[in-house]
């Protein structure tokens, strides 16, 4: 099933204990689209400035990602400068220049409107709702968000949660939204807002999922050489949603497997800056790591 993603496209400058990279390709829509493209067709909507290197668009095309929805407008591309220290669990933002992203109005091209799967990456929840009004009855809608919108647009975000099938948040966001430190309570509170499934990302500690059928929990894939955690969450969503689209159904078994594929894709992303690790992947690398994941978590002998 075709996947529509709407989100940010960025040029990131990132420093981690393992190096520094300047103006590298990033953004939630980019990480998501690239990861999902290993599983199904992706239609991408986002905005860049005139300075956006053409090689990045070409890179997306090598994965058959459709970029008709990429708006190129006068000005500079969204830029984020950040760093990570120690365990690299939290990014420190040094500067955020929204540039052309500041007034981003997602316009869904006609040919994308019947995309069966929609991923609303982290943008203003009012824009996310606006995207849903432009698409024709998608079979699966998944959303992400961030602290900023929880703090400034909680009402809109809550409305959005009532319109999606799956809400994907990280643990800090889930705690902030629900106003509780206990993640299980937070997940239950989020589920009460309307989504059928709530998935909470826990970085190196894996993820958990809650639905009316109960809990699912998984550890993260152990990675010894984490170089840059940027984009891990969006890559996770790409693996998850890409798999659900590929299999064409959303049930207990497909969701759990898809979530593991999300962890697998995220585990690759953190091994290098930008898309550098994913660029080297083929399908066998992905299925091999999935099997490794099965092996390292199995205790049902």
Using CB under 8 A, pick the residue from 68, 87, 102, 192 that binds a second copy: 87
234-253 residues near a second copy, rule: CB under 8 A: 252-253
Minimum CB distance to a second copy, residue 219 (Å): 4
Residue closer to a second copy, measured from CB, 137 or 300 = 300
Q: What is the closest distance, in whole angstroms, from the C-beta atom of residue 52 to a second copy in the complex?
A: 34
Site for a second copy in 132-191 (CB under 8 A): 181-185, 188
What is the helix (H) or strand (E) element at residue 95, kind and residue range?
A: strand 91-97
Give the distance from CA 138 to its chain's centroid: 18
Q: Among 109, 130, 194, 219, which residue interacts with a second copy (rule: CB under 8 A)? A: 219
How near is the Cβ of 258 to a second copy at its closest, in Å? Answer: 9
* Residue of 216, 247, 271, 281 interacting with a second copy (CB under 8 A): 216
Strand 10-16: give its sheet, edge to edge.
19-26, 10-16, 79-84, 91-97
The span of 2-10, 28-36, 107-115, 215-223 binding a second copy (CB under 8 A) equals: 215-223
Give the count of beta carbons closer than 10 Å to the beta carbon of residue 17.
Answer: 13
Q: And the tokens for 20? A: 């520094």
Residue 67 engages a second copy in binding (rule: CB under 8 A): no
Task: Tell me how far apart the alpha carbons of residues 269 and 57 are, in angstroms, rounded to a whole number.
Answer: 19
Nearer to a second copy, 64 or 294 (CB): 294
Q: Which is closer to a second copy, CB of 9 or CB of 174?
A: 174
Q: Judged by CB under 8 A, which stretch of 1-9, 66-74, 85-93, 125-133 contacts a second copy?
A: 85-93
The answer to whether residue 102 forms part of the interface with a second copy (CB under 8 A) is no
Nearest to 33 by CA among 110, 142, 135, 119: 119
To a second copy, the closest distance from the beta carbon of 203 in angstroms equals 10
Establish if 206 lies at the interface with a second copy (CB under 8 A): yes
Closest CB to a second copy among residues 137, 253: 253
- The residues with which 90 forms a beta bridge, in sequence order, are none
72: three-class secondary structure by DSSP: strand
# residues contacting a second copy (CB under 8 A)? 40
Strand 117-120, strand 91-97: pairing: unpaired
Rounded Cα distance between 261 and 255, Å, is 10
CB atoms within 10 A of CB 247: 17
Task: Give CA–CA dist 49/2, Å, rounded.
Answer: 26
Question: CA quadruple 6, 11, 15, 20: dihedral positive or negative?
Answer: positive
**Token reading at 66:** 């459709």
Nearer to a second copy, 93 or 181 (CB): 181
Q: Which of 259, 266, 270, 275 binds a second copy (CB under 8 A)?
A: 259
d(CA 119, CA 136): 14
Closer of 159 and 189 to a second copy (Cβ): 189
**Footprint of a second copy (CB under 8 A):** 86-88, 181-185, 188, 202, 204-206, 208, 214-220, 222-226, 252-253, 256-257, 259-260, 294-301
């Amino acid at each position: 099933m075709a996947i529509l993603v709407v989100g940010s496209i960025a040029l990131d400058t990132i420093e981690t204990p393992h190096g520094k990279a300047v103006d590298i390709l990033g953004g939630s829509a980019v990480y998501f689209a690239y990861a999902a493209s290993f599983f199904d067709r992706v239609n991408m909507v986002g905005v860049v400035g005139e300075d956006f290197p053409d090689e990045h668009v070409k890179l997306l095309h090598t994965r058959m990602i459709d970029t008709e929805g990429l708006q190129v407008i006068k000005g500079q591309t969204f830029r984020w400068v950040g760093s990570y220290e120690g365990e690299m669990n939290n990014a420190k933002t040094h500067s955020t220049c929204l540039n052309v992203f500041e007034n981003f109005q997602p316009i869904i091209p006609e040919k994308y409107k019947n995309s069966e799967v929609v991923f609303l990456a982290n943008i203003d929840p009012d824009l996310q709702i606006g995207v849903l009004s432009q698409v024709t009855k998608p079979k699966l809608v998944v959303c992400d968000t961030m602290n900023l919108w929880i703090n400034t647009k909680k009402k809109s975000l809550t409305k959005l949660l009532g319109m999606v099938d799956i809400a994907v948040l990280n643990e800090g966001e889930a705690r902030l939204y629900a106003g509780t430190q206990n993640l299980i309570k937070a997940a239950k509170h989020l589920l009460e807002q309307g989504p059928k499934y709530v998935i909470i990302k826990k970085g190196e500690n894996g993820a958990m999922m809650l639905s009316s059928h109960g809990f699912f929990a998984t550890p993260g894939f152990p990675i010894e050489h984490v170089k840059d955690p940027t984009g891990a969450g969006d890559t996770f969503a790409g693996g998850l949603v890409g798999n659900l689209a590929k299999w064409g159904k959303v049930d207990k078994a497909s969701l759990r497997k898809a979530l593991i594929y999300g962890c697998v894709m995220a585990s690759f992303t953190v091994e290098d800056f930008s898309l550098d690790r994913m660029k080297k992947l083929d399908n066998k690398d992905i299925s091999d790591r999935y099997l490794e994941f099965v092996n390292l978590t199995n205790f049902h002998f």
